[in-house]
Amino acid sequence: MRESGILLWQTHQVARGMIQPGVSTKEIDRAVEDFILANQAIPLFKGVPGKVPFPAATCISVNQEVVHGIPSERKLAEGDIISVDIGIKLNGWCTDAAVTYPVGAVDEEKARLLQVTEECLRRAIHLLGEKTRWRHIARKIQKYAESEGFSVIEELVGHGIGQSLWESPQVPNYYSESLPDFRIRPGLVIAIEPMINMGKRDIRQLSDHWTIVARDGKPSAHFEHTVAVTENGPEVLTRGPNGEGWAL
Protein backbone atom coordinates (compact mmCIF):
# COMPACT_ATOMS: atom_id res chain seq x y z
CA MET A 1 0.00 0.00 0.00
CA ARG A 2 2.93 2.34 0.59
CA GLU A 3 4.03 1.85 -3.03
CA SER A 4 0.51 2.66 -4.16
CA GLY A 5 0.50 5.69 -1.84
CA ILE A 6 3.74 7.09 -3.27
CA LEU A 7 2.38 6.78 -6.80
CA LEU A 8 -0.82 8.50 -5.70
CA TRP A 9 1.20 11.35 -4.17
CA GLN A 10 3.09 11.68 -7.46
CA THR A 11 -0.23 11.70 -9.31
CA HIS A 12 -1.41 14.56 -7.12
CA GLN A 13 1.69 16.52 -8.09
CA VAL A 14 0.62 16.25 -11.73
CA ALA A 15 -2.70 17.87 -10.85
CA ARG A 16 -1.12 20.44 -8.55
CA GLY A 17 1.24 21.62 -11.28
CA MET A 18 -1.68 22.44 -13.57
CA ILE A 19 -3.83 24.44 -11.16
CA GLN A 20 -3.96 28.03 -12.39
CA PRO A 21 -6.55 30.41 -13.86
CA GLY A 22 -7.66 29.45 -17.36
CA VAL A 23 -7.06 25.69 -17.05
CA SER A 24 -10.14 23.47 -17.35
CA THR A 25 -10.90 20.74 -14.84
CA LYS A 26 -11.15 18.27 -17.75
CA GLU A 27 -7.55 19.07 -18.76
CA ILE A 28 -6.41 18.25 -15.23
CA ASP A 29 -8.37 15.01 -15.22
CA ARG A 30 -6.96 13.93 -18.58
CA ALA A 31 -3.37 14.49 -17.41
CA VAL A 32 -4.04 12.60 -14.17
CA GLU A 33 -5.56 9.60 -15.95
CA ASP A 34 -2.71 9.47 -18.46
CA PHE A 35 -0.16 9.46 -15.62
CA ILE A 36 -1.96 6.72 -13.69
CA LEU A 37 -2.22 4.46 -16.73
CA ALA A 38 1.38 5.12 -17.77
CA ASN A 39 2.44 3.78 -14.37
CA GLN A 40 0.46 0.53 -14.75
CA ALA A 41 -2.10 1.54 -12.13
CA ILE A 42 -5.89 1.72 -12.21
CA PRO A 43 -7.90 4.96 -11.72
CA LEU A 44 -10.43 3.71 -9.17
CA PHE A 45 -13.11 6.35 -9.56
CA LYS A 46 -13.68 5.94 -13.30
CA GLY A 47 -16.75 3.81 -13.94
CA VAL A 48 -17.92 3.64 -10.32
CA PRO A 49 -21.58 2.53 -10.57
CA GLY A 50 -24.42 4.94 -9.90
CA LYS A 51 -27.45 6.22 -11.76
CA VAL A 52 -24.77 6.97 -14.34
CA PRO A 53 -21.23 5.56 -14.00
CA PHE A 54 -18.70 8.14 -12.81
CA PRO A 55 -17.09 9.35 -16.05
CA ALA A 56 -13.65 10.50 -14.90
CA ALA A 57 -10.46 9.43 -13.12
CA THR A 58 -10.64 12.29 -10.65
CA CYS A 59 -13.31 14.02 -8.61
CA ILE A 60 -12.68 17.74 -9.04
CA SER A 61 -14.90 20.02 -6.96
CA VAL A 62 -14.79 23.83 -7.18
CA ASN A 63 -15.89 26.37 -4.54
CA GLN A 64 -19.30 25.28 -3.13
CA GLU A 65 -18.88 21.77 -4.61
CA VAL A 66 -18.01 19.45 -1.73
CA VAL A 67 -17.07 16.15 -3.41
CA HIS A 68 -17.71 14.03 -6.52
CA GLY A 69 -17.42 16.96 -8.92
CA ILE A 70 -17.26 15.80 -12.55
CA PRO A 71 -14.38 17.33 -14.58
CA SER A 72 -15.64 19.50 -17.43
CA GLU A 73 -14.70 22.34 -19.77
CA ARG A 74 -15.14 24.75 -16.85
CA LYS A 75 -12.04 26.90 -16.57
CA LEU A 76 -10.57 27.80 -13.20
CA ALA A 77 -10.63 31.47 -12.20
CA GLU A 78 -8.52 33.53 -9.84
CA GLY A 79 -9.94 33.24 -6.33
CA ASP A 80 -11.51 29.79 -6.77
CA ILE A 81 -10.70 26.88 -4.50
CA ILE A 82 -10.44 23.43 -6.07
CA SER A 83 -10.63 20.05 -4.35
CA VAL A 84 -8.85 17.21 -6.17
CA ASP A 85 -9.73 13.69 -5.00
CA ILE A 86 -7.94 10.70 -6.58
CA GLY A 87 -7.98 6.97 -5.88
CA ILE A 88 -5.69 4.40 -7.51
CA LYS A 89 -5.00 0.67 -7.39
CA LEU A 90 -1.43 -0.56 -7.86
CA ASN A 91 -0.47 -4.24 -7.72
CA GLY A 92 -3.78 -5.07 -6.07
CA TRP A 93 -3.66 -2.37 -3.37
CA CYS A 94 -5.78 0.78 -3.17
CA THR A 95 -5.03 4.25 -1.83
CA ASP A 96 -7.16 7.38 -1.73
CA ALA A 97 -6.22 11.02 -1.05
CA ALA A 98 -7.62 14.51 -1.57
CA VAL A 99 -6.45 18.08 -1.16
CA THR A 100 -8.03 21.51 -1.69
CA TYR A 101 -5.94 24.20 -3.39
CA PRO A 102 -6.36 27.94 -3.84
CA VAL A 103 -6.37 29.14 -7.43
CA GLY A 104 -4.10 32.16 -7.32
CA ALA A 105 -4.94 34.58 -4.54
CA VAL A 106 -8.06 33.79 -2.51
CA ASP A 107 -9.89 35.87 0.07
CA GLU A 108 -9.07 35.58 3.76
CA GLU A 109 -12.09 33.45 4.66
CA LYS A 110 -11.41 30.88 1.94
CA ALA A 111 -7.78 30.71 3.02
CA ARG A 112 -8.87 30.14 6.61
CA LEU A 113 -11.30 27.40 5.51
CA LEU A 114 -8.43 25.57 3.82
CA GLN A 115 -6.18 25.99 6.87
CA VAL A 116 -8.82 24.70 9.30
CA THR A 117 -9.81 21.71 7.14
CA GLU A 118 -6.17 20.70 6.68
CA GLU A 119 -5.64 21.07 10.42
CA CYS A 120 -8.62 18.78 11.07
CA LEU A 121 -6.85 16.06 9.09
CA ARG A 122 -3.50 16.77 10.75
CA ARG A 123 -5.05 16.47 14.21
CA ALA A 124 -6.88 13.26 13.32
CA ILE A 125 -3.67 11.61 12.10
CA HIS A 126 -1.80 12.67 15.24
CA LEU A 127 -4.56 11.43 17.53
CA LEU A 128 -4.46 7.96 15.96
CA GLY A 129 -1.31 7.48 18.01
CA GLU A 130 -2.98 8.57 21.27
CA LYS A 131 -6.62 7.42 21.29
CA THR A 132 -8.07 3.91 21.51
CA ARG A 133 -11.41 4.53 19.80
CA TRP A 134 -12.34 6.58 16.74
CA ARG A 135 -15.21 8.40 18.48
CA HIS A 136 -12.71 10.32 20.60
CA ILE A 137 -10.94 11.55 17.46
CA ALA A 138 -14.19 12.42 15.65
CA ARG A 139 -15.30 14.49 18.63
CA LYS A 140 -12.03 16.45 18.52
CA ILE A 141 -12.32 17.09 14.77
CA GLN A 142 -15.87 18.40 15.12
CA LYS A 143 -15.12 20.54 18.16
CA TYR A 144 -12.14 22.18 16.49
CA ALA A 145 -13.90 22.93 13.17
CA GLU A 146 -16.97 24.35 14.89
CA SER A 147 -14.84 26.44 17.26
CA GLU A 148 -13.43 28.12 14.14
CA GLY A 149 -16.92 28.94 12.88
CA PHE A 150 -17.22 26.22 10.25
CA SER A 151 -19.50 23.17 9.83
CA VAL A 152 -18.71 19.46 9.59
CA ILE A 153 -20.63 17.54 6.94
CA GLU A 154 -22.34 14.51 8.48
CA GLU A 155 -23.75 12.68 5.45
CA LEU A 156 -20.29 11.94 4.01
CA VAL A 157 -17.59 9.98 5.84
CA GLY A 158 -14.19 8.36 5.41
CA HIS A 159 -13.73 4.62 5.10
CA GLY A 160 -11.55 1.59 5.50
CA ILE A 161 -9.36 0.78 2.50
CA GLY A 162 -7.10 -2.05 1.31
CA GLN A 163 -7.63 -4.41 -1.59
CA SER A 164 -10.91 -2.57 -2.22
CA LEU A 165 -11.46 1.18 -2.28
CA TRP A 166 -14.35 1.14 0.19
CA GLU A 167 -14.05 -1.24 3.13
CA SER A 168 -15.33 -1.13 6.68
CA PRO A 169 -15.27 0.71 8.98
CA GLN A 170 -17.02 3.96 8.18
CA VAL A 171 -14.94 6.89 9.47
CA PRO A 172 -17.13 9.90 10.41
CA ASN A 173 -15.75 13.37 11.10
CA TYR A 174 -18.30 14.11 13.81
CA TYR A 175 -19.47 12.51 17.04
CA SER A 176 -22.85 11.01 17.82
CA GLU A 177 -23.86 8.42 20.39
CA SER A 178 -25.84 6.61 17.70
CA LEU A 179 -22.86 6.11 15.38
CA PRO A 180 -21.03 2.78 15.23
CA ASP A 181 -17.51 3.03 16.66
CA PHE A 182 -14.28 1.07 16.19
CA ARG A 183 -11.02 0.48 18.02
CA ILE A 184 -7.72 2.04 16.97
CA ARG A 185 -5.22 -0.81 16.77
CA PRO A 186 -2.30 -1.99 14.60
CA GLY A 187 -3.39 -3.33 11.22
CA LEU A 188 -6.19 -0.78 10.77
CA VAL A 189 -5.95 1.17 7.49
CA ILE A 190 -8.41 4.01 6.91
CA ALA A 191 -8.98 6.94 4.58
CA ILE A 192 -9.53 9.95 6.83
CA GLU A 193 -11.23 12.80 4.97
CA PRO A 194 -12.70 15.78 6.79
CA MET A 195 -15.14 17.75 4.62
CA ILE A 196 -15.80 21.18 6.07
CA ASN A 197 -18.27 23.86 4.94
CA MET A 198 -17.81 27.59 5.37
CA GLY A 199 -21.53 27.97 6.03
CA LYS A 200 -24.07 25.42 7.22
CA ARG A 201 -23.40 21.67 6.99
CA ASP A 202 -26.41 20.94 4.74
CA ILE A 203 -25.66 19.49 1.31
CA ARG A 204 -27.52 18.42 -1.84
CA GLN A 205 -26.78 16.45 -4.99
CA LEU A 206 -26.90 18.07 -8.43
CA SER A 207 -28.84 16.69 -11.39
CA ASP A 208 -25.67 15.05 -12.80
CA HIS A 209 -26.26 12.38 -10.09
CA TRP A 210 -22.76 12.86 -8.62
CA THR A 211 -21.74 16.38 -7.63
CA ILE A 212 -22.45 17.19 -3.97
CA VAL A 213 -22.69 20.90 -3.13
CA ALA A 214 -23.20 23.01 -0.02
CA ARG A 215 -26.89 23.82 0.05
CA ASP A 216 -26.25 27.46 1.02
CA GLY A 217 -23.78 27.95 -1.85
CA LYS A 218 -20.82 28.73 0.38
CA PRO A 219 -17.38 27.19 -0.22
CA SER A 220 -16.33 23.78 1.06
CA ALA A 221 -12.93 22.13 1.55
CA HIS A 222 -11.75 18.51 1.59
CA PHE A 223 -8.43 16.99 2.73
CA GLU A 224 -7.72 13.25 2.84
CA HIS A 225 -4.92 10.75 3.45
CA THR A 226 -4.79 6.96 3.58
CA VAL A 227 -3.32 6.11 7.00
CA ALA A 228 -2.17 2.83 8.52
CA VAL A 229 -2.02 2.21 12.25
CA THR A 230 1.21 0.37 13.13
CA GLU A 231 2.90 -0.78 16.33
CA ASN A 232 4.91 2.46 16.14
CA GLY A 233 1.91 4.72 15.57
CA PRO A 234 0.15 6.13 12.48
CA GLU A 235 1.87 5.96 9.09
CA VAL A 236 0.56 8.18 6.29
CA LEU A 237 0.73 5.95 3.23
CA THR A 238 -0.09 8.74 0.76
CA ARG A 239 2.74 11.08 1.74
CA GLY A 240 5.60 11.68 -0.69
CA PRO A 241 8.71 9.49 -0.96
CA ASN A 242 10.59 11.80 1.40
CA GLY A 243 7.73 12.18 3.87
CA GLU A 244 6.32 15.35 2.33
CA GLY A 245 2.63 16.16 1.93
CA TRP A 246 -0.32 18.11 3.24
CA ALA A 247 -1.55 17.90 6.86
CA LEU A 248 1.76 16.47 8.09
As a 3-state breakdown, the chain gives helix, strand, coil percent values, each rounded to 5, of 25, 30, 45
Residue 112: Cβ within 10 Å count: 16
pLDDT tens digits for range 135-167: 999 999 999 999 999 999 999 999 999 999 999
Residue 193 counted as domain residue: yes
Cβ(91)–Cβ(113) below 8 Å? no
Across the range 5-34, mean pLDDT stands at 98
Which amino acid does the sequence have at 196? Answer: I
Residue 97 counted as domain residue: yes
Range of the domain at 167: 2-236
Residue 244 counted as domain residue: no
pLDDT tens digits for range 200-247: 999 999 999 999 999 999 999 999 999 999 999 999 999 999 999 999
Q: What is the pLDDT of residue 165?
A: 97
Q: What is the pLDDT of residue 31?
A: 98
Query: Is residue 133 scored above 90 in pLDDT?
Result: yes
Query: Is residue 178 scored above 90 in pLDDT?
Result: no
Closest CA to 160 of 189, 137, 182: 189
Residue 151 counted as domain residue: yes
* Residue count (the chain): 248
Confidence at 180, pLDDT banded by 50, 70, 90? confident
Residue 243 counted as domain residue: no
pLDDT tens digits for range 25-60: 999 999 999 999 999 999 999 999 999 999 999 999
Confidence at 78, pLDDT banded by 50, 70, 90? very high
Residue 231 counted as domain residue: yes
Query: Which CATH number characterizes residue 176's domain?
Result: 3.90.230.10
Residue 246 counted as domain residue: no
Domain count, the chain: 1
Across the range 112-138, mean pLDDT stands at 97
Q: What is the pLDDT of residue 144?
A: 98
Cα–Cα distance, 140 to 134 (Å, whole number) = 10
Residue 15 counted as domain residue: yes
Cα–Cα distance, 142 to 144 (Å, whole number) = 5
Confidence at 69, pLDDT banded by 50, 70, 90? very high
Q: CA gyration radius for the chain? A: 17
